[in-house]
Amino acid sequence: MQKIKLMNKIAKVGTDVLADRYEVSENVENPDAIMVRSAALHDMPINPELLAIARAGAGVNNIPVEKCADEGVVVFNTPGANANGVKELAIAALILASRDIVGGVEWVKSIADDPDIAKTVEKGKSKFAGNEILGKTLGVIGLGAIGGLVANSAKNLGMRVTGCDPFLTVNAAWSLSSSVHNAKNYDEIYETADYITLHVPSTKDTKGMINKDTIAKMKDGVRIINLARADLVNVADIKEALESGKVAAYVTDFPIPETMGLKNTVNIPHLGASTEESEDNCAVMAAEQLGDFLSTGNIKNSVNYPTVAIPHTGKSRICLCHKNIANTLSRITTIVSSAGINIENLSNGSKGDYAYTIVEMNDEVPERIVPTLEGIEGMIRVRVIK
């Protein structure tokens, strides 16, 4: 029985998907697969048996993705499974950025012993007054599973919405309200938005994207919401902008020492996907993808290998992780055919420097061809599934 190691507490509805077919535990050694939420895996040695890592969530910053690709370890995530939870927090963040609700609540706590608290509240509430979001312009940077939901919800709340996503997929575009304006670039959002919300991953191109230069392009009094990743915002630059009033408010879901005590800043304790529903959805999606891969070799929602999936209707199949090198596919099929095996079905895909191939057949795979396949230039892993 194949073994799946849990690196965090995973919702039972997810582990139940796997429990009858696999040994699932926090204590297994030399696992065939790993399920993880937030545990850092960068310093974890990769055992030779490890085939896959499933992240119950969208971000994979805690996983050495490229190292895994080089070892033939497929890394899965669960895009969209926690999208509604983050969307709802983003709507709350819009309100928190508009009205000093947090400051007002803390002030009321401080006068809890005042016998005339009702009168005191009426006299002092004006210093916590804010603005309404109705009719304001929201700029959404990143229109994927979460950003698209935020954009549509903001439109329903009466905001003008403009979005920008250079990597917008066809499916994401179809899900967007037709009244969401498609900005030609991020600068258009910086120059026109009253509110800006970030929904992009942390990459070499997005780290520090909110900085002194981009803030200078923004409207005076802009309000910025960051529920995506801490390092998208340059803390020193946002601090300066908050002090000057250029940025009226900053709401972040990633408290760090540098954001504590910042003027007009709300630090949320990383609650974006912290709902029972989101955790259940992510666990089930991760488990289903992992179980399908272990039993059939099919890949869906991997961050380091392409989506490749075909029905497992034959007697056996060969699943191959390899570098994206020209003529590799022809070499694979030549080796299989030369063994007198008829290929019933085949699928291949690539993602950057890496590729994946499934060869389906109605014969048993002769053991002698496996080393030959492993000897192909750029071959990383060969797995036979019956």
pLDDT tens per residue, range 352-378: 999 999 999 999 999 999 999 999 999
Please tell me whether residues 243 and 365 are part of one structural domain.
no
| C-alpha span between 303 and 58 (Å, rounded) | 10
Please tell me whether residues 255 and 281 are part of one structural domain.
no
The torsion region of residue 359 among left (phi > 0), alpha (psi -120 to 50) and beta comes to beta
pLDDT, one tens digit per residue, over 131-154 is 999 999 999 999 999 999 999 999
Contact 162, 192 (CB under 8 A): yes
Please tell me whether residues 70 and 87 are part of one structural domain.
no
372: three-class secondary structure by DSSP: helix
pLDDT for the residue 23: 96
pLDDT for the residue 59: 84
Structural domain for 320, as ranges: 306-386
Report how far apart, in Å, the C-alpha atoms of 219 and of each of 181, 186, 196, 245, 337 are: 18, 14, 11, 11, 65
Least Cα distance to 4 among 239, 203, 98, 27 occurs for 27
| C-alpha span between 272 and 93 (Å, rounded) | 10
pLDDT for the residue 91: 98
Contact 120, 61 (CB under 8 A): no
Contact 287, 49 (CB under 8 A): no
pLDDT beyond 90 at 112: yes
pLDDT for the residue 58: 85
Quickly list H helices, 32-166. Answer: 65-70, 83-98, 101-110, 117-124, 145-156
Please tell me whether residues 227 and 125 are part of one structural domain.
yes
Please tell me whether residues 118 and 230 are part of one structural domain.
yes
Question: Taking residues 7-27, what's their average pLDDT?
Answer: 95
CATH number at residue 334: 3.30.70.260
For residue 281, give both structure tokens.
């959805």
Give the model's confidence band at 102: pLDDT under 50 very low, under 70 low, under 90 confident, else very high: very high
Domain count, the chain: 3
Around Cβ 78, how many Cβ atoms within 10 Å?
26
231: three-class secondary structure by DSSP: helix
CATH number at residue 132: 3.40.50.720
* Percent above pLDDT 90 for the chain: 95
pLDDT, one tens digit per residue, over 296-352 is 999 999 999 999 999 999 999 999 999 999 999 999 999 999 999 999 999 999 999
pLDDT, one tens digit per residue, over 208-251 is 999 999 999 999 999 999 999 999 999 999 999 999 999 999 99
Cα torsion angle, 356, 360, 366, 367, sign: positive
